[in-house]
Chain A
Amino acid sequence: MEKVFYTHDPRVNSVFKVLDKNGIIINNINHGITNTELLEIYKWMIRINAADKKIINLQRQGFMGTYPSVQGQEACQVAASFVLSKKDFLVPTFRETGMMWAKGIPLKSLMLYWMGNENGSKHPLDTEVLPICIPVGSHLPHAQGIGWSQRLKKQEEITLCSFSDGATSEGDFHAALNFAAVLKSRTIFFCQNNGFAISTKTEKQTKSKTIAEKAFAYGMQGIKVDGNDVLALIIALKEAKEMAKNNTPTLVEASTYRLSDHTTTDNAKLYREDEEVKEKLEEEPISRFEKYLISLKILDQEKINQIKEDAKKEVESISKEALAEKDPELTEMFDYLLEKTYPELELQKKALLQEYSNQ
């Protein structure tokens, strides 16, 4: 397979693309994805889109706390989880509903989390996914550390760290990439550059023309990919995974766009024009992929409708379950602090229970 990292140097503004916004293949590279897998990828993108929309509705109806939408980033969300195995570590940012769900965290758990219910924090044991990270960028060193540990333990697995352009200004970005290169960590640093950190556009975030080129300063390879092109992403990430398996960390920049507000408490109209959003909507990942699959006769309109219908039903049913879930036990705030409790903490727990029963 052609080594796209070496043939697409971001320092000369080269961007790796395979599928253009009209669903036409513009790079004949063999992506190695079967038709069954292509259909599966499409379904995931639709389901993620449906889930995301539902969660926003729930928030508007008062059932959900603040929620950061992944609209426009469905290709990134699916591509990353596609190339990772269950035992590979995913170290997510906070805008990651799709990636975490596709990697094996139940949607219900994710919904519960955003409802502020920690019953949703009890994740399954059969997939390695860290919890979302709120302090921007502070999870990159974690991903470095895991990748380093995997190398020392001679494990097969690798680590993928997902973050956005805002994180690249934090010191943790610098520390993590620097350490990763020096200590040969099995880490893919996957930057979903969606154009914004809340209201701050990327050009205000860094003077660097691309984020990918920052990799070279650390002695690492970097590549910039069309982040709305799920095929290009999968190829690039597969290659990054190969390098990670060789104890070589990389930086993959996915150039995409955040179609939604920063979170449900944000109003993006204050800092961007409707015109811009309209333009970007034409480049969004799902419609181009749909066109491509139609051209391969994997999809037709009937199938598309069915898939969308099923996704809606599925999401509806899961959100009903989530809404019916009971609150966490009061004592849980004490029970998971340390391995063993201690006397003063027990007294405080008793006091809380007493107060609760007196109410």
Chain B
Amino acid sequence: MSEIKVIDAINKALEIGLEKNPDLILLGEDIGKQGGVFRTTSGLQAKFGEERVVDTPLSEQGIMGAAVGLSINGHLPVPELQFDGFIWPGFDQIINHITRFRTRTRGRYTTPMVIRVPFGGGIHALEHHSESMEAIFSHIPGINVVIPSDPYSAKGLLLDCLESKDPVIFLEPKKIYRAIKQEVPDEHFRIDSKKARILREGNDLTIISYGACMYDTKKALPEFLKEYPIDFELIDLVSLSPIDYNTILKSAKKTGRVVIINEENPNCGLASELSATISEKCIKYLKAPVKRVTGFDVIIPLLKTEDHYLPTKTRIIEGLKEVINYK
């Protein structure tokens, strides 16, 4: 066991992956000597060589297209997209090919791969470096979307995704790359990347969140619980596609009160999907309408006002209170 950060957890997971699977290949911009713009892949090229940790030319469509070819011929590519905002030139390959090869060829050719994307806001970065477009990815059939919320889950989930036979988008909430230190096993271990994690069991309120917002939610809870020391259930969604409704609906039926907290633009988002399905399947059990605490339907602003776009402690607490106090 070691106390490490998300960034180290990912680095370790990739290292284990590269050791275990000789067909695993990392590709992306500046991931070699530089170790990636966040230093996530630091040291890996030195250890495994330039043919396994590859600095590619600057082209997201090139990277994603190459990953298709590598995967078809039996490699397991782990392409890194430098920032969520730059995924779009490669998005054509995702939506038109990566998610479709299995269906298109009736399983004759498949494209397993783990697409790593630094994700989300809160690091006071430049434009296009703070996007939260997970709803778009989750909307596409044929790919899994996975997101950790702490170092332990980052390592375990990534190691699980590296064994997947389907393509996966692995979203790395950059706001918490360094912000959390946690005890994580040194060896190989897996956390089921298709299941939501119940971080605390409770009977009176279901709180669902993921990514960096889980971290923010945990920070907001002490203040909320001082005033309302209730028996809450905290769920880390983990799998955005497919959603683990088995866990979610069970919880909603048990508590009858649900709050979903994420940083996306609310229109047509993950929170809407959860709210609709929970309401549809659990309406007789609900003690209050499902509450969504999200960002706004705007472009995320630059650093001076960025923190007001993201779910603030106030917004989270007010959302929880609203559900508790519903009459």
Contact = CB atoms under 8 A, between A and B. Distances in A.
A332 B246 CA distance: 24
Contacts of A144: 62, 65-66, 69
B245 A152 contact: no
A174 B25 CA distance: 23
B25 A131 contact: no
A221 to B, nearest CB: 19
Interface string A132-148: 00010011111111111
A332 B102 CA distance: 11
Given A131-B105, A178-B57, A138 B66 contact: no
A296 interface: no
B256 interface: no
A346 to B, nearest CB: 11
Contact of B74 (A138, A143, A149, A183): A149
Contacts of A143: 69
Interface in A133-179: 135, 138-150, 152-153, 159, 171-172, 174-176, 178-179
Interface in B55-73: 56-57, 59, 61-62, 64-73
Interface string B134-146: 0000000110100
A130 B66 contact: no
Given A172-B61, A179-B59, A344 B69 contact: no
For chain B, the bracket of interface size reads 35 or more
Interface residues of A, number: 45
Interface stretch (A237-245, A313-321, A335-343): A335-343
Contacts of A277: none
B325 interface: no
B242 A342 contact: yes
A118 interface: yes
B242 A178 contact: no
Contacts of B92: 135, 138
Contacts of B75: 149, 152-153
B106 A121 contact: yes
Given A146-B69, A152-B25, A345-B242, A141 B93 contact: yes
Contact of B245 (A139, A336, A344): A344
Interface in B156-181: 164-166
Contacts of B108: 121-123, 125
Given A89-B73, A146-B73, A175 B65 contact: yes
Given A138-B96, A149-B73, 15 more contacts: A89-B72, A121-B105, A123-B105, A131-B101, A135-B92, A138-B92, A138-B97, A172-B65, A176-B62, A178-B62, A182-B57, A183-B54, A338-B102, A338-B166, A344-B245
21 contacts: A122-B106, A123-B108, A130-B72, A135-B96, A138-B92, A138-B96, A142-B68, A144-B66, A145-B77, A146-B73, A148-B66, A153-B74, A153-B75, A171-B59, A174-B59, A179-B62, A182-B56, A183-B66, A332-B106, A337-B141, A339-B102
Which 7 pairs, one residue from A and one from B, show the smallest C-beta to C-beta distance?
A: A145-B69, A141-B65, A175-B62, A149-B73, A145-B66, A146-B69, A339-B165
